[in-house]
Amino acid sequence: GQLVDELSILWILNTFLVVYGPVCKWYPEQHRDKIPLFRAVVITVAVLISGLCFLEPDLNALALMAYSIPAVFLIKYEAKHSGIPDIAGFPRRVFTLWGVAVAFWFSDRLMCDVWLYLGIPYLHAIFHLLSSVAAYSIFVMYSMIDIEARSDQHKFTVAVRYFPDKQGALWSLPYLSIVEKHTTE
């Protein structure tokens, strides 16, 4: 079960890189013609890491956490340089959710017997819930960036909305509201 768990996280991260990496500000403009190569390299690395998951399962969690280090910089960089006010608070949201999720993961991993003794059997599930909401928020943020970057290719405006709290509290889920632009002729 843990292997399937970790492989799914790995493939979500690599799907993100394949889909959104080339549309990010950090992706060098002079290498836009090499996007298929970039995607092939990411998929190859994902396949290799997936294979290693079967050989050394104890290293999976560390490898996945290692993905977090460059992700922190990319998320912060993209939000700051996108020029989109709706996503300015997304790095704080993502880092808070991810930080709390990792704290639950470490707590579960290091003190599992203590939590079982106290009748709290599975903090790892909370890790998955929080990290999933963080990942979902990242996809919303980068989808917004992608839609705005391609605004000359479509006739829609997009805004970030939140459910159920319209103020965007940490426990609310962001989503994109897409509306057709009205043209005045």
Torsion of CA 39, 44, 48, 51, to 10 degrees: 100
Do the annotations mark residue 128 as ligand-binding? yes
124 marked ligand binding residue: yes
Residues in contact with 43: Cβ distance below 8 Å, sequence separation at least 6, in sequence order: 14, 18
Give every CB contact of residue 30 below 8 A, 6+ residues apart in sequence. none
Contacts of 66 (CB under 8 A, 6+ apart): none
Q: 2-32 burial string, b = 16+ CB within 10 Å, else e?
A: eeeebbebbbebbebbbebbbbbeeeeeeee
Would you list which residues are annotated within the binding site? 124, 128
Residue numbering of the annotated binding site for Zn(2+): 124, 128
